[in-house]
Structure 1
């Protein structure tokens, strides 16, 4: 990686500026280099910062290693059906960074991007100002942690953190922990605390779940054979609405397994419905725990049933099908919990993030602040997005699908440059 120094005399203008140096931005740089297009990658922190600083200690991939397929850098280790741990993920990324050797300017937080009447982009950052013919936004879609306003009314004695800040149980004060949210992060953090011996209270949301292994194989392997991961968002039953879905909870920990919240309840974890409020020293929950658990299990069984259909259709030999039956049901849902009497001393908020593209002055955003695009190509000439969830397929925001998206966007950049010869100072190879 060429980590440029802002004190050096660098050209003010680039054909393309890429905002963000995670796996998406680096993938774009890989293809821009192959197309012989000069460019600069601006990174707010350091390259692949999120993977290094916003993951807990026992974090591991929830998809098998064989799905790690960054451009020119597929997984070549000895455990393709395993799940890389945090240090292994960083090692994999470090090797990718070295291969790409992208022209990155770190600690360059972009504060404003505008476009003039002639179609040239002006970029203002903490490391200087630049101009570009085209902009690729590769900063992801998870920017601002969601913490409800009720958090302001909780006692000062309660330690609060967001999922991106959690590292391990020992960093929390002694006592019980309330985990709010049961998506991928919430379910895995609750498990981590539970396995450490902490008393855990979990506010369960509407996240679905899936099996880790079914009928002799990883569910991901079955879904890959069924071409699920090649389905474009335009063919998904929910269309663009799938981008708002919470990811299914499952884990790759200890070789991979299901996360069954009902089993945790049998082992002493206390489950509640959605957290709604805090008043007069008491936490208040919706009476929807049973419904949320049942809905998650329905999704689990529905995915397995689709695999059953695929096996039957193709006459594949596999172990017999099994339907999941609940291990535990809440008899009387508790909708209130005395904060002091519960012994809760800390809360981990695991309810997601909101996008923040306030620095980008372009008429491409919908009412939720999400950009409108087709496979990352916007209606504004020269403006592209990469690395967003379901940008094109399920793998768009993951190691498995970002290469395909980056290649498509760079091809679009080349096509646009070919149609505007005055901009194509360097032709695409």
Structure 2
């Protein structure tokens, strides 16, 4: 990985301080450099560390490579409709890091950010204090892994890890593996274990799913043509509620395919409903399996139907479509599983993360810890967010849309700087 450019301020004050050195923070840095605005990126670990340290070995993108479009650094490989594997993603990001050459300090944790009476900000870090006219929070929204309290009552013999700590099937002890949750990580980790021949017990959640390919093309290609990825959050049918949605599960593995939990079940994976409790040495599950599978399939078919409508309206020549047909149906809702008899040796918790902005002393958060903002601009002067899911569009938290959001934030900062300069000039006159 290319070494970041160190900061060069002599007095610890910057016009802009960016918290977080992932693709979002680096994208903001790129546009600030283009605008000639001095700034500093403060990163708790190392730049883009999440992609290097919190992804399993077989991880790959679930969106096609052509959607990788960081600022002035689009995907340049020879497989735009493929899906980069972990090492290829890291290589792409290394190129972007060198391209931006951001002024950054790594291994530096931000402990507190607070606005002063004069409107500027103090930023306390593990490497001392800084001040800034503007603060851009680019640390993402996935901070604290969610693990239920029942985990505390599981026998010590059972290995427990969160999805970000999973690496490969061989790193787990012999025996069955319980995977809890079926968002993108849960579904793909269950597939990874299943393909390796491990016995998998899957607690199925409420995540939707979508097809990988439909009517001759990747579904992402169709949705791009339908301008779904350009839809701003305020025009989405759910409005800001879409930010709470779980991502659809699908995979780019082996060239891309659907993830069909019913097919896995027909091949020996054991499916249960939502994991609710542990009582009398038995895992207890809610009777939600059939409803969750049906709801996921309904979403799958609904997305395909929207593509059918688009094809019909525009008279596009495409292969015939169709409706997904179930390949397996649970005979009953199993609500209990004996922990000892099951042979479970490991549990992987794949039920998401909660945001943690406790270090940010600003009255902008709702009851769920999510900041109030309009396209990343908060009600507090000089405070911005970038890189959050559905900050503005579907791609806001992804390689495909973060550049647009970062550019918008920097333009807002430039406008604010012009206003301040005009006011200063007027006062001086």
Q: TM-score, normalised on structure 2?
A: 0.97
The answer for the alignment partner of 2:222 in structure 1 is: 222
Q: For residue 288 of structure 2, what is the aligned residue in structure 1?
A: 288
How many angstroms apart in 2 are the aligned matches of 1:404 and 1:263? 39
Is 1:358 aligned with 2:342? no
Distance in 2 separating the partners of 1:130 and 1:305: 53
1:167 match: 167
Q: d(CA) in 1 for partners of 2:245 and 2:268? A: 29
Deviation per residue, 1:52-89 (Å, 9 max, x gap): 00000000000000000000100111000000000000
Tell me if the contact between 2:5 and 2:102 (Cα under 8 Å) persists in the aligned partners.
no
Q: Which residue of 1 aligns with 2:307?
A: 307
Match of 1:68 in 2: 68
Query: Is the counterpart of residue 200 in structure 1 residue 213 in structure 2?
Result: no
Check conservation: 2:113, 2:359, Cα contact below 8 A: yes
Whole-Å separation in 2 of the counterparts to 1:133 and 1:2: 27
User: How far apart, in 2, do the equivalents of 1:305 and 1:46 lie?
Assistant: 43
- After superposition, the Cα gap between the structure-2 partners of 1:424 and 1:343, relative to the gap in structure 1 and judged at 3 Å, is farther
SS across alignment from 1:420: helix
The aligned counterpart of 1:90 is: 90
How far off its partner does 1:3 sit? 3.9
Structure 2 equivalent of residue 409 of structure 1: 409
User: Any idea what SS the aligned residue of 1:341 has?
Assistant: helix
Name stretches of at least 5 consecutive residues in structure 1 with no aligned partner.
none
SS of the residue corresponding to residue 134 of structure 2 reads: strand
Contact 1:177–1:348 (Cα < 8 Å) also in 2? yes
Aligned length: 424
Separation in structure 2 between the aligned mates of residue 137 and residue 164 of structure 1, nearest angstrom? 22
1:157 aligns with 2:193: no
Within a 5 Å distance, the mapping from 1:118-133 to structure 2 comes to 118-133=118-133
- CA distance in 2: counterparts of 1:62 and 1:369, whole angstroms: 27
Q: Cα offset for 1:422? A: 8.1
- Rounded to whole Å, the distance in 1 between the matches of 2:5 and 2:226 is 44
Matched with 2:327 is: 327
In the other structure, the counterpart of 1:243 is 243
- Across the aligned residues of Structure 1 and Structure 2, the Cα RMSD in angstroms comes to 1.4
Which residue number corresponds to residue 143 of structure 2? 143
Q: 1:2·1:102 contact (CA, 8 Å) conserved in 2?
A: no
Q: How far is 1:11 from its partner?
A: 2.9
Matched, 1:348 2:348: yes
Structure 1 partner of 2:376: 376
Deviation, structure 1 residue 420: 1.1
Residues 1:3 and 1:217: Cα distance change in structure 2 (over 3 Å): closer
Q: Give the superposition deviation at 1:2.
A: 6.1
Aligned to 2:40: 40
Aligned to 2:54: 54
Counterparts of 2:424 and 2:57, CA distance in 1: 46
Q: Which residue of 2 aligns with 1:108?
A: 108
Q: 1:4 deviation in Å?
A: 5.9
- Paired with 1:424 and 1:187, the residues of 2 have a C-alpha distance of 56
Aligned-partner Cα distance in 1 for 2:423–2:343: 64
> Partner of 2:397 in structure 1?
397
TM-score normalised to the size of structure 1? 0.97
Q: Render the CA deviation track for 1:396-422: whole Å, top value 9, x for unaligned.
A: 000000000000000000111111128
Question: How far apart are the structure 2 equivalents of 1:332 and 1:3?
Answer: 56
Summarize the Cα distance change of 1:313–1:5 in structure 2 as closer, same or farther, 3 Å threshold.
closer
80-89 vs 326-335, which deviates more? 326-335
